[in-house]
A and B are shown apart, each in its own frame.
Chain A
Amino acid sequence: MNSITEAFAQALGLVATADPKLVDIVLLSLKISLSAVVLGCLIGLPVGAAVAVNEFRGKRLLTVTLNALMGLPSVVVGLVVYLLLSRAGPLGALGILFTPPAMVIAQTILITPTIAALSRQMVADAWQEYREQLRSLGETRLGAGTTLLWDLRFSLVTIVLAGFGRAASEVGAVMIVGGNIDGVTRVMTTSIALETSKGDLPLALGLGIILLSIVLALNAGAYVVKETAQRRYG
């Protein structure tokens, strides 16, 4: 019990003094996961909206596939990206294995289906309500998708957060394609895994506290934005 309290106290100390090593790790984590979220949204939101408002062969299959891919295991993504980027792989020439860009790619692949599947559901529900009016006004399918995404902007925040949460909390993919190299590809989750196995509980706990706080703060911020906006715009 004592060692836990002690570790906790030390962890808080590391956080409070903004230990440089800790700060670097946190910043790298944020940089990678936020990049993945931005890319994931750029791909996932249009895909979700397009699937929602268009009728085509294989729509159901695609919907089911997107939904299933939400449960994609991160280690599998890591393995696939590893194979693609490794020296002998098809993208080996890029030479980005064990670098942050590789980690961004892996996390993007991991969260894009989540963003696409959730936004598809949300846009499809709204499409039911708006379809006749938008068609009556002469809106095209492409325009309808964009209009609906914009109309749902406050609700979509939740989806973006879900994507960020998944990216920031996963360890398998970044561990495999990043290699957990100190000062280069070491992020919060891989550090926690490593430090825990080494027995350096204070650093692991400190990182854990920060990870939780970031996720909590983002969610709280998004909640406030959403509530305020919904009260204002209905």
Chain B
Amino acid sequence: MTGDVDMRAPLSLLPLCLDEVRFEVGSRRIIQGISIKLEAGLRTVILGPNGAGKSVLLRLCHGLLVPTSGTVRWYSPELPGAPRRQAMVFQRPVLLRRTVLQNVTYALKLAGMRRAWREQCALEALARVGLESLADHAARVLSGGEQQRLALARVWALRPEVLFLDEPTASLDPGATHEIERIITALHEAGTKIVLVTHNLGQAHRLADEILFLHQGELAERASADRFFKHPTSPEAASFLEGELPW
């Protein structure tokens, strides 16, 4: 598994290109013509006030929603029915009524891993997030922070090329948030492309390499994190930063 070059490895999913993507529900325009290209490597943080369309944009990228018009195109798309090469962590983790370990092995089974390897791989992933001692516990009775760590262990075991996170720490305390951010950073360092939605400026500051600032369904600004926080060019971003300060 490690070190070997797999000659059959598929081409990279990235870059991801969105072309004039719109999303409407009835007459409500939630995403209004967004065109972006997401490259490998950088941690992309999608920032914006509530109702800006951040979560919807994330779901459009991940394929959970289909755009009303426009295209979402991966460089080398996943094949239908094949194991997924991208994953998503939700604001509220959805866990099955099984043990902690079984929640991870379930995901590995869907990813097509052989039964004999699943448990070992799952235990390694649980160790990464500090949950190995709870492997035999029921997943649904864990604390909020532990549940989110389990969701990340599930991702870790899958080793996705791209990971989408939708406000993963929105309902967690600072301690749990810190732990989740540590795991996200570790995933990034292991080579997973991170795309994170948040409205928490502190978090964006800590995790972002580049910022996509969304306002009312439109991409108001895209900049490196440094530049965005020091010199936002769009008035929307500037007022958002002002309103939210200090972090």
Contacts and interface: CB of A to CB of B under 8 A. Distances in A.
Given A136-B64, A138-B110, A234-B140, 19 more contacts: A132-B59, A132-B64, A132-B94, A133-B94, A136-B62, A136-B88, A137-B106, A137-B154, A138-B83, A138-B84, A138-B111, A139-B110, A151-B96, A151-B97, A151-B98, A152-B97, A233-B98, A234-B97, A234-B139
Nearest to A229: B97
A67 interface: no
Interface in B84-117: 84, 87-88, 90, 94, 96-98, 106-107, 110-111
A143 interface: yes
Nearest 10 pairs of A and B residues by beta carbon: A234-B140, A133-B94, A138-B84, A233-B97, A234-B141, A233-B138, A136-B88, A151-B97, A137-B110, A138-B110
Given A233-B141, A234-B141, A136 B96 contact: no
Contacts of A154: 97
A133 B84 contact: no
Given A151-B97, A233-B97, A132 B141 contact: no
Q: Which of A130, A138, A140, A153 has the most CB of B within 10 A?
A: A138
A234 B96 contact: no
A55 interface: no
Interface in A120-153: 129-130, 132-140, 143, 147, 151-153
Contacts of A232: 138, 141
Contacts of B106: 137, 147
Interface residues of B, number: 22
Nearest to B96: A151
A234 B138 contact: yes
A135 B64 contact: yes
A147 B96 contact: yes
A56 B133 CA distance: 44
Interface of B: 59, 62, 64, 81, 83-84, 87-88, 90, 94, 96-98, 106-107, 110-111, 138-141, 154
Interface string A14-43: 000000000000000000000000000000
B98 A130 contact: no
A154 B141 CA distance: 15
Given A147-B96, A233-B98, A234-B139, A132 B111 contact: no
Contacts of B84: 136-138
B90 A132 contact: yes
29 contacts: A129-B94, A130-B94, A132-B59, A132-B64, A133-B88, A133-B90, A133-B94, A134-B94, A136-B62, A136-B84, A136-B87, A137-B84, A137-B106, A137-B107, A137-B110, A138-B83, A138-B111, A139-B110, A140-B81, A143-B110, A151-B98, A152-B97, A153-B97, A154-B97, A232-B141, A233-B98, A233-B138, A234-B97, A234-B141
Q: Which of A136, A140, A233, A234 has the most CB of B within 10 A?
A: A136
Contacts of B98: 151, 233
Contacts of B107: 137
Contacts of B59: 132
B232 to A, nearest CB: 32
B224 to A, nearest CB: 29
B140 A233 contact: yes
B117 to A, nearest CB: 17
A130 B90 CA distance: 11
Interface in A213-234: 232-234
